[in-house]
Amino acid sequence: MKAVLFLTVVLSGVLAVTAVPVEAVEPVQGTQELLQENHVVENEAGVLVPEAEEPEMLSAGEALSVEGRFFACPAGWIRYKSSCYLYVSAGRSWTSAAANCNSLGATLASVHDLFDYSFLQQLTSRGGGTLAWMGGLYFQGWRWVDQSPFNYNFWSAQHTVSRYQCIHLNTRVGWSNNNCGNGWPSICVKNTDTC
């Protein structure tokens, strides 16, 4: 056992004396280009990690990258929950407003809770209006044109459905039904998180 220990110490000494210092090696040509191409950088500890991306800022009217299209609304539209909303200030009949939204790939807005309605009221107020068409319509019962369930009511007044079959919001109170031929602003909505 003493012999093995002695040989280990001697061998270690010989290796220490004859060892040649190693110089730093330059990276293989093209390595830097490969790292840049794959967006990899060296962190403080000398470990290669993915490069942190800066958020992309766009000016008005500038097109989004393919990745950005799924997370942002078109210019002029406002994101709320998983949808984009547009306040259309031009006065139109309910039918014309619905057709206009349809031409934009949207429908008139529906409401499913107090938060939705408050958002639409604020959107209308910011647009300079007090009334706006929503997607509510009477046809054998109250329905939303986007075919979502009519499961929330916030009526401020409800008129006879034989003459007043379209729903509009009021920024000061709840919604009401009125003559579909009235020329009022409207609110369009399109879902951004569908294929």
Amino acid at site 69: R
Residues of the chain with pLDDT > 70, as a percent, come to: 62
Question: Which band of pLDDT confidence, cut at 50, 70 and 90, is reported for residue 33?
Answer: low
- Structure token digits, residue 59: 């000016």
Residue-level pLDDT at 8: 58
Residue-level pLDDT at 60: 47
Q: Tell me the per-residue pLDDT of 74-103, one tens digit each, with 9 for 90 and over.
A: 999 999 998 999 999 999 999 999 999 999
3-state SS class at 8: helix
Between CA 47 and CA 84 the distance in angstroms is: 41
Residue with tokens 């040989």, as numbered in its chain: 7
- Structure token digits, residue 134: 């929503």
Give 18-78 as a DSSP string.
HPPPPPPPPPPTTHHHHHHHTTEEE-TTS-EEEPPPPPPP--TTPPPPTTGGGTSPPTT-E
Residue-level pLDDT at 90: 96
Residue-level pLDDT at 145: 96
70: pLDDT strictly greater than 90: no
- Superfamily of domain covering 75-191: Mannose-Binding Protein A, subunit A (3.10.100.10)
Between CA 124 and CA 81 the distance in angstroms is: 17
Residue-level pLDDT at 131: 97
Residue-level pLDDT at 72: 85
Considering the entire predicted model, what is its pTM? Answer: 0.63
Q: Decide: 127 and 185 in contact? Cβ < 8 Å.
A: yes
Question: Which band of pLDDT confidence, cut at 50, 70 and 90, is reported for residue 4?
Answer: low
Query: Hey, where are the domains in the chain?
Result: 75-191
CB neighbours of residue 35 within 10 Å: 15
Q: Tell me the per-residue pLDDT of 115-174, one tens digit each, with 9 for 90 and over.
A: 999 999 999 999 999 999 999 999 999 999 999 999 999 999 999 999 999 999 999 999
3-state SS class at 177: strand
Q: Tell me the per-residue pLDDT of 45-67, one tens digit each, with 9 for 90 and over.
A: 454 545 554 434 444 445 544 44
